[in-house]
Amino acid sequence: MASITVPISNTSSNEPILDNGQGVIDPDVYFQINEPPADLPEFESKLNAFVDYHKELGSKVVFITSGGTTVPLENQTVRFIDNFSNGTRGATSAEYFLEAGYAVVFMHRQNSIQPYNRHYTHSNMGFLDYLEPKEDGSVQVLTQYAAKMHKLLTKYNQAKDTNRILMLDFVTLPEYLFKLQSGSKVLARLETRAMYYLAAAVSDFFIPSQKMAEHKIQSRDGGLTLTLDQVPKFLKPLVSNWAAKGLIVSFKLETDNNLLVPKARQALTRYGHQVVIGNMLKTRKQTVTLITQHREKVLSLTPQQVENDIEIESEIIPELVRIHQNWIDSGKTE
């Protein structure tokens, strides 16, 4: 079977890519040689207004990233690589942060799970199954679901009415990277009162637009061989430049339990930020390991708690709120 290597055939230009000699380009170079998303100015103006408002109020603000990033295979994208993340962690966490009095910037993958709405959009029941049509032409929530919906709707409306949630979205990896950079720099104005909660599942590999096929890859040549570059290590500039004073919480996902803690600690040491939360693909909803410079804490739900629909975020968020308060008060996490 014939195969083609995408970056060589059908490229849009032959510009050289600057890298560090190991095939990973410097994040600053990445932003110089790639086009920012068209909606970046609108993204920035919404975020600036939100941050101004909450700076004035003295709020604590958390910048949550949520959901997976797509990696386009063509500049005029027909196909892309995606990952498993549906944004449950980010959306659930947003609710607990709001409960804890935070203002939330919810930067999520378009059409992924959203706070409060998640209870209906991603349940086993269809949305219409909660409703019944009335003879007078109105629609009513079935009695057995009304109390829960009333409670959630009240919280959701409160968050919106008090301007404590800002919904922003992304789809592709390049969009995510530009918005992460720009968003972190805007949030940096809140200094230590900003927390960065990086729960989005970000691809480690991508095809730079200069190396990408412009048009739809054709199947007439047989199979397809892809060569992907490593995504620049954006945590490095985020920690040292973009968000220097904020509390930065990154997530590390693994499937091999033996790698989880060593890899999470390695990230903490390498980038010098404050918290890494390690989680395993299969057990991520029941157990996580929270790693700070001097400590390692396993947070787990009991089978009984799982049975009662208790969510692991109800353990994660209070722990982070405490760490963040220490950070604000003393510049330390413990």
Residues that bind ligand 9Z3 (CB under 6 A): 85-89, 198-199, 201-202, 235, 250-253, 279, 284
What helix, strand, coil percent values describe the chain, rounded to 5? 40, 25, 35
Q: Closest approach of Cβ 68 to ligand 9Z3, in Å?
A: 7
Tell me the backbone φ, ψ of residue 220, rounded to 5 degrees: -65, -20
Closer of 74 and 311 to ligand 9Z3 (Cβ): 311
* Bridge-based pairing state of the strands 194-198 and 205-206: unpaired
Burial (Cβ within 10 Å: 0-12, 13-18, ≥19) of residue 78 = exposed
**Which residue type, as a one-letter code, is found at position 144?**
Q
Closer of 194 and 235 to ligand 9Z3 (Cβ): 235
Closer of 225 and 240 to ligand 9Z3 (Cβ): 240
Q: Closest approach of Cβ 250 to ligand 9Z3, in Å?
A: 4
Q: Closest approach of Cβ 331 to ligand 9Z3, in Å?
A: 23
- As a whole number of angstroms, the distance between CA 159 and CA 216 comes to 43
Closer of 29 and 280 to ligand 9Z3 (Cβ): 280
Q: Closest approach of Cβ 88 to ligand 9Z3, in Å?
A: 3
Closer of 165 and 202 to ligand 9Z3 (Cβ): 202
Closer of 50 and 251 to ligand 9Z3 (Cβ): 251
Q: Closest approach of Cβ 242 to ligand 9Z3, in Å?
A: 14
Q: Closest approach of Cβ 288 to ligand 9Z3, in Å?
A: 8
Nearest to 188 by CA among 41, 43, 28, 51: 51
Provide the 10 A C-beta neighbour count for residue 315.
Answer: 18
130's CB contacts (< 8 A; 6+ apart) are 120, 141, 142, 145, 149
